[in-house]
Structure 1
């Protein structure tokens, strides 16, 4: 698996639909499963949603936690 794809999951926002603006890594499982049943959109967005659905289905969401960027605290 390409590590760059995992990085995209935690940085790329959903560009359309009910969850527009939410990170693909943060899309709820029921929404990911809906795409799996109805069909993933074409292009990179569809490939990322399909990857996230596979990770969610197999309980692998926690693997993305170390890749999430935490906000910096300035003192």
Structure 2
């Protein structure tokens, strides 16, 4: 996975819908599952949501937790 994509997941916010304004990494799994069934939007947002879906269903959240901590501490 590209580092830039992971950084986007912990810094970019959802631009619309029920979770507008939330970081992509903080969107609940049930919403990602719903979006997966419905179809992710085109472009970067769709790629971010799909990546977040894959991270969640494969139990890889720990990757983002550590990255988010480093950003909050100003280490990145």
Task: Report the equivalent of 2:10.
Answer: 10
TM-score (norm 1): 0.90
CA RMSD, 1 decimal: 1.2
Question: What is the CA deviation profile of residues 26-57 of structure 1, one whole-angstrom value per residue up to 9, with x for unaligned ones?
Answer: 00000000011000011100000000000000
Distance 2:55 2:73 in 1: 25
Q: Which residue of 1 aligns with 2:72?
A: 70
Structure showing the higher helix proportion among its residues: 2
1:48 and 2:51 matched: no
> How far is the alpha carbon of 1:71 from its aligned partner?
5.8
| Residue 22 of structure 1: aligned partner | 22
Q: Secondary structure at the match of 1:13?
A: coil
Q: Number of aligned pairs?
A: 72
Q: Summarize the Cα distance change of 1:71–1:3 in structure 2 as closer, same or farther, 3 Å threshold.
A: closer
Report the TM-score when normalising by structure 2. Answer: 0.89
| Gap runs ≥5 in structure 2 | none
Task: Kindly state the Cα deviation for residue 67 of structure 1 after the two structures are TM-superposed.
Answer: 1.2
